[in-house]
Amino acid sequence: MERGAWGRGAYSAGDAAGDRGTGGGRIAGGARRRRDPSGREAVEQSDCGVRSAECGVRISRIRNPKSTAKLTDFGIGQVVSEEILAQVTKAGFTQTLVGPSSSSQTGTFVYMAPELLAGKPASAQADIYSLGVVFYQLVTGDLARPVTTDWSEEVKDPLLREDLKRCFAGNPTARFARAGELATNLRSLPERRAAQAEREAQDSARRETALREVLKVKRGLTLNWRQATMGAMLTVLAGWCLLISRFDFGLKALSFDLPFALRPDIRPGEVLIVYMDDESRRRLGQDLGRLWDRSLHVNLVNQLTRWKAKAIVFDILFESPWPDPKVDEQLAAAMRAHGKVVTAATVETTHPQGGPITRRGILPVEPIRSASVFGLAEFPGELDTRIRRRPQNPSWGALVELPLKTIEVLGSRPGDRTRSPWLNFYGPPGIIPSMSYFEVLETNAAQRSYISDKVVFVGQGKAITPAGVRSFDEHGTPYTRWTGLLSPGVELQATAFLNLWRGEWLTELSPFAEVIVLGFLGIVFGFGLTMFRTSVAAWIGAAGVCLIAGLALWLVWQQHLWFPWLIVCGVQIPCALGWSVLVNSKRLYAERELLRAAIPVEQARLAGSSALAEAATETAPSPSHAGAERTTADGSALTELDSAGSRAPEVTAASMAPAIPDHELIRMIGEGGYGQVWLARDVIGSYHAVKVVYRRKFSNAEPYEREFRGIQKFTPISRTHRGLIHILHVGKNDREGWFFYIIKLGDDEVSGQKINPATYSARNLAQELKKRGKLSFAESLELGLALTEALQHLHSHQLIHRDIKPSNIVFVNGQPKFADIGLVTDLHERSPATTYVGTEGYIPPEGPGTAAGDVYSLGKVLYEASMGKDRKQFPELPTSLAERADCEALLKLNEIILKACDPNVQARYPCADQMQVDLVRLQTERRGHAAK
């Protein structure tokens, strides 16, 4: 107890010894407290026994650091050694104080040591026991909690748990000899914790070293060919399925767009764009939304001819004659004078209702058509309406795309330029050099050098309209994803021309090549990542993403080649990594189990001592970190094995299991407080559960012998009733200090009696309630009838169970049975063995050890099963009870439960058969109600 952490006790004169403390705190007994010269509190031994180490005190938070806790109420104290009073005047001392004449069974029941309850004389060790109870209550924060068999679960600090274990030892000589020893241990807790942490670090290093030696597993890499092959298949299929489906468009489009966003812009110099923009419209007096005066185009062509433009490309459709025919003649003459003019054409598609689809080419009007060459000016849009490729294979006649026609006009052969339609963009909108239309018409000599020897594209630019700044011919490009800007159609024509002229168009891998690439990379990552542990696989996967992305960017920028690489980075590698995580989670569990079994054996081998092997096995780390609590066929609390994970290697059975006659121990399926439970197979192939109880698990022999006595008493009747778990065989090895019993294997949670050794998980009532929450009225009634019948059969043989709870009720072929019978004892035995064993919440107020006490525990079980609430909430009813269809029946069942769990033992069912009579009456009543 830390100084200043708790309040001091206040004696109440009206309290009576043996009655106090039920609602107050508990202060340590068997010792007196003083302040040592250094100012620290100490607990020192006294030969004056308090015998009732409790008092009616109120524990409160101390705000004054000088406050101390003191013992009070020495009314039943006793001097157990008169030697200490040799120099003390005895005048006024009563005979009760100085002699052992008073009864040893005075005091408060909860705080009395087992030997006092058995009638033995008081001792300092009995006060140590009481002091431990007080500390236990302070640690748990419940100042009325008794010490039950599961007390250690409430104490999280292992060092404090060991100290309390010495206080609660059944053999008084195993307890602290002096209260001062306990005080020393409590003061040194920080130093002991630091030393323990250092030992754990050293043990962890030794375990890892032993694991490497035993398992021969290289750090980071573990071969598992079959699972790696499955991972490769899944990864390849994921990539292929996405490639052939329409769902891949987003990743495919992003695979095309992303390299442009990361590449520096390129400003080409072979082309100039002349925009018919808003400034030109204003200066030249052209109305918005109407055709431009064609005579302006005559002047434009003449000016470009004078300034020696290499070619002129009109992204303008001259589909109708100008009102003044002379203007068309003048434009045609200007085009002939230049000699390399290309105009736009298009294809009109009509689909009349009920008629066939027809396509009509819209060509330039004569005489412009004869004076120039013309090409298709349309671009095919993608699913997201953005432009990524030029037109290919026109659907009308011999019409050739406009950029390709320009190449022909310049005297170059198309060659293989027609094979790939994918555009290679040089930058966002505006990256290609441009001028306004009006600027070309100005007689500015400086413009001549700017235009000379360039291919000039003429087309629509942006204009200011009532709806805002817009163009009548704009399209999305890969850059639109990042900038939101649209590109004029004439800029797309210029980009396509530059790609063809400079040989910089992009080429996509063929479908066959893409299938091969995705298949190869799927195998590499799907197989490879599975071979590595999760942390290593994550780093390799990240490196793979970077490598594939870098390769894709290099191919686009340098080799003008692209493929849907984001399917690999965004789908296949994450798929492979996810599979690796799943496989390694299973593998980790298997290795952890093997480590738990192999390290103690290996340490014993290295030490050359079989005795060390036994001790190491006893202290082997519990597998509780690897799974959740589960109950085996005998109902003991266990650690659940991961049924989805890999099976623990057979070394578990070979190196740790004792030799059981005619049985092969397959694997340890759990470990309870008293021993281990194994799944076993006999010589004819039948499966059983074998529980092995070790003497070394206990600080003294009494609990070990008590467990064996329970088996001795229960075994003769275990097969005489269907509601009791069947014990098939019992054996004992006194030399090595263990005994075992073989029991009928309970149903598997999923498959019943169809047992799969690798995934077996026992079905019990606790698991049922955890999954379902509660049982129906009919199920609860059937459960109560079956268990009261079995309990009455047990009582009729003068035996009591003492630990009835949901986890100790298992199912065999669907039949509920009482299990975990280690605490079974004689009905009329009243000894320390019958006091406060069991599980908190199921123990009756008067303590276990009677038939009525078992009925109380069974009532709590039925309360949890029917109402779906924890036993500590009894007798509270669920708020949703009124909404249940079986509400009326449940309320009548609850009346029986209330009587079974009555705190007053006189008002409770004295035995199980009377409770069963009421349950049968309720069943008959409900059947009659249903018949009506």
pTM as predicted: 0.44
pLDDT in tens, 688-721: 999 898 888 777 787 788 888 888 888 888 888 8
Q: List b or e across 382-415, with b for residues whose CB sees 16 or more CB atoms inside 10 angstroms.
A: eeeebbbbbbeebeeeebbbbbbbbbebeeeeee
Give the model's pLDDT for residue 658.
Answer: 81
Q: Nearest 5°: phi and psi at 476?
A: -80, 150
Distance in angstroms (rounded) separating the CA atoms of residues 398 and 707: 99
For residue 429 the two structure tokens come to: 């909108």
Nearest Cα neighbor of 668 from 683, 659, 686, 656 is 656
Q: Which long-range contacts (CB under 8 A, 24 or more apart) does 348-355 make?
A: 349/395
Predicted confidence band of residue 641 (pLDDT cuts 50, 70, 90): very low
pLDDT at 7 over 50: no
> Out of 85-99, 365-379, 894-908, which region has the weakest mean confidence (pLDDT)?
85-99
Distance in angstroms (rounded) separating the CA atoms of residues 625 and 621: 9
Give the model's pLDDT for residue 64.
Answer: 52
Distance in angstroms (rounded) separating the CA atoms of residues 720 and 272: 104
Distance in angstroms (rounded) separating the CA atoms of residues 868 and 425: 68
Q: Where does 766-931 sit in CATH, by number?
A: 1.10.510.10
pLDDT in tens, 866-915: 999 998 889 888 888 888 888 888 899 999 999 999 999 899 999 989 99
Superfamily of domain 622-763: Phosphorylase Kinase; domain 1 (3.30.200.20)
Give the model's pLDDT for residue 330.
Answer: 93
For residue 280 the two structure tokens come to: 């030109």
Contact 764, 635 (CB under 8 A): yes
pLDDT in tens, 489-527: 899 999 999 988 888 888 888 889 888 998 999 899 988
* For range 401-426, the mean pLDDT: 80
Contact 112, 29 (CB under 8 A): no
Contact 363, 305 (CB under 8 A): no
Q: Where does 31-187 sit in CATH, by number?
A: 1.10.510.10
For residue 18 the two structure tokens come to: 């043996």
Which stretches of 46-145 are DSSP H helices? 95-98, 114-117, 124-140
Q: Which of 204-208, 307-311, 556-560, 665-669 has maximum average pLDDT?
A: 307-311
Predicted confidence band of residue 81 (pLDDT cuts 50, 70, 90): low
Q: How far is CA 465 from CA 287, 289, 439, in A?
A: 11, 9, 22
Give the model's pLDDT for residue 600.
Answer: 56
Helix, strand, coil: what percent of the chain each, to 5?
A: 45, 15, 40
Domain with CATH 1.10.510.10 in the chain: 31-187, 766-931
Give the model's pLDDT for residue 637.
Answer: 33
Distance in angstroms (rounded) separating the CA atoms of residues 420 and 389: 9
Distance in angstroms (rounded) separating the CA atoms of residues 407 and 404: 5
pLDDT in tens, 414-469: 656 556 788 899 999 989 999 999 999 887 766 777 888 999 999 988 754 444 44
Give the model's pLDDT for residue 32.
Answer: 37
Mean of the per-residue pLDDT values of the chain: 77
Nearest Cα neighbor of 382 from 474, 315, 477 is 477
